[in-house]
Amino acid sequence: MPQQPAEAAALPRHEVIIIGSGFAGLCMGARLKQAGIHDFLILEKDKEIGGTWRVNQYPGCACDVPSHLYSFSFLQNPEWTRKYAPQRELLAYTVKAAQDLGLMPHLRLDTALLSAEYDEAAGAWRLHTSRGEMIAKHLVAGMGALGRPKLPTLPGLESFQGKTFHSQQWDHGYDLQGKRVAVIGTGASAIQFVPEIAPKLAQLDLYQRTPPWILPRPDRAISDAERWLLRHFSISRWAYRALNYVRNEWRYIAFGKQPALMRAMQKLALAYMHKHIPDPELRRKLTPDYTMGCKRILLVNDYYQTLTRSNVAVLSNGIREVRAHSVIDGDGQERAVDAIIFATGFDLEQALGPLELKGRSGLCLQQASRDGLDAYKGTTLPGFPNFYMIAGPNTGLGHNSMIYMIESGVNYILQAIQMTRLQRIKSLEVKADAAGEYNRQIQQKLKGTVWNSGCKSWYLNSRGKNLTLWPGFTFEYRRIMKKFDADQYHARFD
Ligand code: NAP
């Protein structure tokens, strides 16, 4: 580690500090260890590990990507009980992964990163955390983009006297039995918990702004015999993983290259809706008017059936006002409610939250990202040496497993860190030209995709720019991340 002023020299220092203990942070830690790099910490702001699968604990929470694929390639799990594992199994997997991969001694729970600034002379990051300061040569952000709940601004909401919570902050202590509940939002989270809670409620008012495209989820239990096979024959695990990968991956042809192909899928989705929703007026409300895939396609088996229950109303004319014990819907009808559950998604533009990151020459992350985070390969930023993001901008997916993208990114970051060790490099910083040209190409590629076909979605920022999704096959991302391209970086030496 480079020389530091006396005051900084007294601070705890590490070669790498990783932020977040979800799949991304754990993957980075695991790969560092495999590479023989042991001087690292994983900071977790909460009291337990697990990232998104610990935080999201709403009823019915499950992954809509098959679990045999949505797991580390280097820690395959033959014990999944279902094709699409429920949240508690995914959380148990991440905790076990941290233990089995020897990451527990590296974890610092209840330690939030508040701010960090790059010290150019020292070639290191100075971190201010809720448990004091520390120094790291490399800083790796693995906190994901879907961490900060987004709440709607509704007239009168502050006057509401009942219970309110966001799907990501589910209050399990609040007994929903017999309650009248308004649910706002019909995205990936809502469609999972609405079928779970509806049978308990006296009344469920579902406020839908935009109907989602819905297809059945081909879920099933994994039999004991299949688990035995997967446990004893690694080839069967790899084959099943590969099968799931290919089944998902081909869909990029429709998402990215030929959105017109989505019409065939739309017919299937409409037939599925027709089968479960006999009422033509309800079908009209539930029929999307945008190309399938422009927003995330939702996979669920019991949502439409739930909407036909006598205690469920689908309200698609908005919310006029919230009062102390009621909601006035868009038609002016007052509907008494005991609770409001927000299933209104996440604030991507605030994904890095209140984190103050100051790069070279005091460059502030908020300033550098005024038009959005234009990262190079979703990973590095000009002006921020030795700083890396896992699953950063334009690496999200609408069609396959994010774990594949995380592993691709981690492989690239690991090579950068190894290179600084081998060549005694003080800092690596991506060239501004490289990042600019890379992002120009990404935005160009996005033009023909279904995601940029005109609907409003959280994939686009407030200026309509898509800084969320990877416009390509996932193996194309793996290919560009395979080898660290040092020629696109400024290397500074001691
Ligand atoms: P979301 O997909 O962003 O859905 C938010 C919902 O709230 C949308 O229906 C949106 O309507 C509505 N909404 C937002 N603001 C509103 C307002 N002011 N008034 C009325 N309605 C409003 O959020 P999410 O369901 O939490 O899911 C977020 C992401 O998390 C997903 O897309 C997915 O990537 C991930 N997720 C994954 C899984 C999984 O199984 N892998 C499960 C859950 C979540 P509009 O469509 O009109 O904006």
Percent of the chain residues past pLDDT 90, beyond the cut: 90
d(CA 131, CA 439): 37
Ligand 1, residue 62: give the atom nearest the CA.
Answer: 40
pLDDT at 4: 56
Q: Are 388 and 139 in contact (CB under 8 A)?
A: yes
Query: Which residue owns the Cα nearest ligand 1 atom 4?
Result: 187
Q: Above 90 in pLDDT, residue 314?
A: yes
pLDDT at 370: 67
pLDDT at 373: 77
Q: What number of CA atoms fall less than 13 Å from residue 450's CA on the CB side? A: 24
Q: Above 90 in pLDDT, residue 350?
A: no
pLDDT at 136: 98
Distances in whole angstroms, Cα of residue 388 to Cα of each of 220, 451, 481: 38, 26, 13
Q: Above 90 in pLDDT, residue 98?
A: yes
Ligand 1, residue 153: give the atom nearest the CA.
Answer: 18
pLDDT at 281: 97
pLDDT in tens, 108-123: 999 999 999 999 999 9
Pocket test for ligand 1, best of 67, 88, 196, 209 (most atoms within 8 A of CB): 209
Region 137-155 average pLDDT: 93
pLDDT in tens, 265-287: 999 999 999 999 999 999 999 99
Q: Above 60 in pLDDT, residue 3?
A: no
Distances in whole angstroms, Cα of residue 20 to Cα of each of 32, 63, 189, 381: 15, 20, 22, 19
Q: Are 85 and 220 in contact (CB under 8 A)?
A: no
One-letter amino acid of 307 = L
Q: Which residue ranges have their beta carbon within 6 Å of ligand 1?
A: 63-65, 146, 152, 167, 184-190, 207, 209-210, 295-296, 343-346, 458
Region 436-444 average pLDDT: 96
Region 255-274 average pLDDT: 94
Query: Which residue owns the Cα nearest ligand 1 atom 2?
Result: 187
Distance, CA 38 to ligand 1 centroid (Å)?
39
pLDDT in tens, 7-57: 777 899 999 999 999 999 999 999 999 999 999 999 999 999 999 999 999
Q: Above 90 in pLDDT, residue 68?
A: yes
Res. 233 pLDDT band, cuts 50 70 90:
very high
Distance, CA 188 to ligand 1 centroid (Å)?
6
Mean pLDDT score of the chain: 95
Q: Above 80 in pLDDT, residue 352?
A: no
